[in-house]
Structure 1
Amino acid sequence: MAAVLAFTFRNWRGHRAIVAAIVFTVAVATISEVVIPIFAGRMVDAVTAGVDEASDAWWALGAMLLLAALAVGCRQLFFYGITVLTTRVMAFVARDAFARLQRFSTDWHANNFAGSTVRRITRGMWALDMLHDTLLVAILPSILVLLGSTWVLGTVWPALGLVVLVGAIGFVAMTVLLSVNYVAPAARLANSWDTRVGGALADAITCNAVVKAFGAETREDDRLAKVLGKWRSRTTRTWIRGTNAGTAQNAFLLLLRTAVLGFVLLLWMRGQADAGDVALVLTSYAIVHGYLRDIGMHIHNLQRSVNDMEELVTFYDQPMGVRDQVGAPAAEIGAGRIAFEHVTFHYGGHAEPLYRDFSVEIRAGEKIGLVGRSGSGKTTFVKLIQRLYDVNGGRIVIDGQDIAEVSQASLRASIAIVQQEPILFHRSLAENIAYGRPGASLAEIEQAARLANAHDFISALPKGYATMVGERGVKLSGGERQRVALARAFLADAPILILDEATSSLDSESEHLIQEAMERLMADRTTIVIAHRLSTVQAMDRILVFDKGRIVEEGDHASLIRHADGIYRGLFERQALELAKGWAA
């Protein structure tokens, strides 16, 4: 709870004036309610004294109405203030959490469900609304009422004031202990399963094409049912514990009410209290009782909102994947010369480094193919160039600049990448193509699409470049997605280009169109191609053959194929044999 409250108070710092106005208006409204019973007692005294004291009764009524009107006006003001404060903080927290998530490491995103992550943010964001209401609209007035009413009663009968004060403190202490030690642990576990429900739903929905392909709808229904079963049992236990805590609180309040009312009757029997005094006690305690009854619910809501925010707050304890140096300058990349200088790198949790004292140079404008078995270090090579990870030793230099010393955004803006499975946003085709250069004109977007051999199929669509592509581009074929990704790279016009086997798993017509577009795209750029099919790297200036994090062979296709026992030749002959078998079949 302490971490969540500290997080909340930190977010109030930028809104000190609004918070101060809320506290002031809450205090005025609450004090007005506390003072009203005093004038209620005077009214009763005036009424019991007879008609001669009518002016006192009317004066007391006027004071009560004035105080009530003041309370209503102040409530209107603080509800307006808390609305402004809450919406501002909710928007800021959501934006800030999203910004942090965007900068978490690639590994973090690979190990967390997107649906679960979204659920954590949205649940935490809305929990802020309840937390603000609970702290400022509920608990703060309750504390003021308890203190004020205790003071009012204590000024007349100190012993009675002490009974109310001790009873109120005991009730609050019991409520907090029940909430923190009895309800909260169950709620925390229920929330973790709520997060898993979000993850399971998102996982099945985003992979619906695979579900349909295997006729696995019933299987996925059963899988979700198991997760929901766990969620239901954990949530049921949480709610039952909340009910039990509420019953204990009501029993305590019954005992306190009995003590207070019994005490005032005893005072009346002894002649130490008249009708007005009894009215004062009854009115004051009615207010105290109402606030005490509600404070149990408020503390429960406070704990619930804290539980809902805990997973969001833990985002702020997560280390950022890769951090820019303070004041890191923008990268100035033109020619695109890349050099790995004695680089050592290992993934977190791996005992042995993948690269150890690894050095290689790629000349400006050179076209390089990366070849090797799975896990040999090809993909890691391009991830390090993008600085998705920081190296553990040595450095990577582009055009004489250590990439660890320049801003990541400027570095990646100088690198265009076309992935094996291109990812598109559920936005228009124009927006997807322009993602590489925000603010590009429609004419520039269309020109990039023409260079990528995408303009014809886009123009044939009913809405053309305004067509929405669906989540991850699901409305387009694989070849169409690939050409849109190439158009995005054309428009980015970066000096360094990375291609992750952009023609694999495509029909021959799409492969021809994409291969043609790729040749145009590679012109006058430093190009790195991760090759799964060796036919795509035969025209490269140089081929680097990776094995267990080392470059074991390098040269062009013609020179490498002459190495009788070479890895490249072995891979090439195996693929050629598989292709021949395919043709024979």
Structure 2
Amino acid sequence: MTAQADKRPIAIRAVVPFVFRQWLLQPYRAAFVLVGFLGATAADLFMPIYSGHLVDALTSGPYHNAARHAALAAFGGIVALGLVSMILRLIGLHAIVPFTLKTMSDVAREAFMRVQRFSTDWHTNSFAGSSVRKITRGMWALDLLNTTILMSLLPSLTVLVGSMILLGLHWSALGGVVAIGAAIYVVVTMMFAVRYIAPSARVSNAWDTKIGGTLADALTCNAVVKSFGAEEREDERLARTINRWRVRCLRTWLRYNSAAMAQLSILLCLRMSVIGGSVLLWMEGLASPGDVTYVLTSYYVIHAYLREVGMYINNLQRSVNDMEELVAIHDEPIEIADVSDAKPIAIEGGEIVFEDVTFRYGRDCVQLYDRLSVDISAGERVGLVGRSGSGKTTFVKLVQRLYDVSGGRILIDGQDIALATQRSLRSQIAVVQQEPILFHRSLAENIAYGRPGADMGAIERAARLANAHEFILRLRKGYGTLVGERGVKLSGGERQRVALARAFLADAPVLILDEATSSLDSESEVLIQEAMERLMRGRTSIVIAHRLSTVRGLDRILVFDGGVIAEQGTHAALTRRAGGIYRRLLESQATEVGRISAAV
């Protein structure tokens, strides 16, 4: 058996229990839905019996009181059952709407909550557009699945089983024929859905997800597309993905058609057997016209429900396939999780200590840190320098606990960060990235993100400290200006100053600065450098430096090389070390600057 075949039943075994668990969160609404639809179905179940009684009364001979009473009783029964069915179905319909909407909302919120808390590696390896597509497609598939099971499949199965039992009580042979035919129909339909349609649907869904990823990738990087005049190239890239999706979808939909033809063939054979059997019973004098009417009415009810059961099973399988990736998100473990007894961390001074820290990225990656130990005093300003891949960025990610260490521990003010809640830890560490990302919200909302609920006075003070207030006032809507997706409406220097303002407002005791001036013009660099100097005062500050000129005034510089702190000291001390790594890096940058100046 292939790996794909092994996966088919797993999808159902994962999705259906997941949905049932969601139903149990709303037991009263679920009960109203089931009582409404199953009760209405039970009322429909007895309708053919009264139809048969009515025909017998009408064909019993000359008009007389007994026939009249029998006909009126049968008619009254049909009307009463119709009213009961309508009322119960109305109850079910009113209950299923809030029930389904609440379930969809809960599942989407839970999925978003988990995705937000997945590791940095997970987000690095996932398309944002694909993740959005998985959640939204799965959410709407849940609507189809709820409707299919509660409104359609369970009532249909109830009618089928009940009708076959009632029919079998009158004529066991006909009841047996219907039971065998219905069983064959349901089994064949399920086999088609699970073994024939589902694998193809899974592949087409995967390509549907890729369409979302391709769209998001191109639209997010539209500035790059425009800068290279690559619109047609991206059109062709999307067209290739859509063509592959179209081929997979065509195969899936054709398989649906093939399954439908097989189902209709079985129904045709069953219809011929039941109608032929009832006519034969009448010819033998074993059934009255009313009996034949009952059989035919029962069969047509069964036929209608059987035909719909085939559609419902296909819908069920389709919704299971569509929910598969959403359920996988819910089942995905959160790699960096708070321990069961985690408590909020209280950071005052901001002393950071690495004690024999060992770390590797993933199980198969080469170890980066091997028993790394370093102390950063409270309020100390420390620069991290070194070649790419030497361990600078990993150092600050471990301080934020974006990854867990493989061995050793990291302490802040004597508290092990692995035992603290991540929310409390990160809320007390302000981070300004090399390429700051802003939300497509107003400038005021972006600045206040580090301290929700801050008033405009505090927001403006933070903007002034970050040298951002003046350029914000020049904008037509000032602090109410929407900055565009990821802040694309602002220049690089403006985004950096907004990010610095956000850090000022957060007022965290620990500050991490990823070189914020490496790609800016001179005027912006001066403004941001001034703001950075103000921001570092009185805080434990870690600065990742790519341009060594930015670390000259720091209290200490740590020089990383292959995951080891090869050198440390002040700028002056490190430049005096002949043959030192820091001195070589400084000389290399000075040579590069001189070469560029000469070329200009």
Q: Give the TM-score normalised by structure 2.
A: 0.97
Give 3-state SS (helix, strand or coil) of 2:565's partner. Answer: strand
Contact 1:190–1:234, Cα closer than 8 Å, also in 2: yes
Cα drift, residue 316 of structure 1: 2.7
**Which residue does 2:42 correspond to in 1?**
31
Counterpart position of 1:306: 320
* Partner of residue 439, structure 1: 453
Q: Does 1:55 align with 2:98?
A: no
1:508-548 per-position Cα deviation (integer Å, ceiling 9, x unaligned): 11111111111110000000000000010000000000000
Alignment of 1:91-490 (within 5 A): 91-490=105-504
Does the CA contact (< 8 Å) of 1:453 and 1:517 recur in 2? Answer: yes
| Cα displacement (A) at 1:308 | 0.2
Amino acid at match of 2:445: E
Task: Give 3-state SS (helix, strand or coil) of 1:354's partner.
Answer: strand
AA aligned to 1:520 is R
Equivalent of 1:8 in 19, 25, 35: 19
Pick which of 175-184 and 61-70 moved more.
Answer: 61-70
Quote how far apart the aligned CAs of 1:349 are: 4.1
* Percent of aligned positions that are identical: 60
Q: How far does residue 321 in structure 1 lie from its aligned partner after superposition?
A: 2.3
Structure 2 Cα separation of the partners of residues 242 and 279 of structure 1: 34
CA contact (8 A) 2:39 2:85 kept: yes
Cα distance in 2 between the residues matched to 1:189 and 1:266: 50
What is the rounded CA distance, in whole Å, between the counterparts of 2:92 and 2:519 in structure 1? 62
> What is residue 54 of structure 2 aligned with on the other side?
43
Given that 2:341 and 2:419 are in contact with CA atoms closer than 8 Å, whether structure 1 keeps it comes out as: no
CA distance in 2, matches of 1:409, 1:321: 15
Q: What SS does the aligned partner of 1:240 have?
A: helix
Which residue is equivalent to 1:544? 558
Give the residue type in structure 1 aligned to 2:176. L
Question: Which amino acid in 1 is paired with 2:512?
Answer: I
SS at match of 1:321: coil
**Contact kept? 2:404, 2:418, Cα under 8 Å:** yes
Q: 209-218 vs 51-60, which deviates more?
A: 51-60
CA distance in 1, matches of 2:491, 2:414: 41
1:168 shift after superposition: 0.9
Find the residue that maps to 2:59 and give its secondary structure.
helix
Q: Aligned partners of 1:92 and 1:138: how far apart in 2?
A: 23
Take 1:492 and 1:156, find their aligned partners in 2: how far apart are those partners? Answer: 79
| 1:51 shift after superposition | 2.7
Matched, 1:22 2:36: no
Identify the residue that residue 9 of structure 2 maps to in structure 1.
Answer: none
Q: Distance in 2 between matches of 1:310 and 1:59?
A: 52
Q: d(CA) in 2 for partners of 1:51 and 1:420?
A: 96
Match of 2:92 among 67, 78, 86: 78
- Aligned positions, number: 585
CA distance in 2, matches of 1:534, 1:321: 35
Could you tell me which residue of structure 1 aligns to residue 7 of structure 2? none
Quick one: distance in 2 between partners of 1:395 and 1:327? 17
Correspondence list, 1:501-516, <5 A: 501-516=515-530
**What SS does the aligned partner of 1:226 have?**
helix
Q: Deviations over 1:332-387 (max 9, x none)?
A: 10000000000000000444310001000000000000000000000000000000
Matches of 1:2 and 1:321, distance apart in 2: 24
Question: Counterparts of 2:72 and 2:477 in 1: how far apart (Å)?
Answer: 75
Moved more, 16-25 or 489-498: 16-25
Look up the match of 2:540: 526
Cα deviation, residue 66, structure 1: 1.3
Distance in structure 2 (CA, Å) of the matches to 1:152 and 1:77 = 27
1:583, distance to aligned residue in structure 2 (A): 2.1
d(CA) in 2 for partners of 1:312, 1:493: 38
CA distance in 1, matches of 2:437, 2:397: 17
Deviates more, 1:163-172 or 1:532-541: 163-172
CA shift, 1:229, in A, is 1.2
Query: Is the partner of 2:566 in helix, strand or coil?
Result: strand
* 3-state SS of 2:46 partner: helix
**1:386-419 deviations in Å (ceiling 9; x for gaps):** 0000000000000000000000000001100000
Deviation for aligned residue 1:57: 1.5
Amino acid at match of 1:373: R
What SS is found at the alignment partner of 2:511? strand
The offset of 1:574, in angstroms, is 1.1
- SS of 2:373's equivalent? strand
Report the alpha carbon displacement of residue 582 of structure 1 after superposing the two structures with TM: 2.1
| Conservation of the 8 A alpha-carbon contact between 2:138 and 2:324 | yes
The amino acid that maps onto 2:370 is: R
Q: TM-score, normalised by structure 1?
A: 0.99
Structure 1 residues without counterparts, runs of 5 or longer: none
Are 1:555 and 2:555 an aligned pair? no
- SS of 1:336's equivalent in the other structure is coil
Instruction: Write the distance in 2 (CA, Å) between the matches of 1:154 and 1:319.
Output: 51
CA distance in 2, matches of 1:74, 1:502: 66
Distance (Å, rounded) in 2 between the aligned partners of 1:81 and 1:438: 38
Residue pair 1:106, 1:321 contacting (<8 A) in 2 also: no
Unaligned runs of 5+ in 2: 1-11
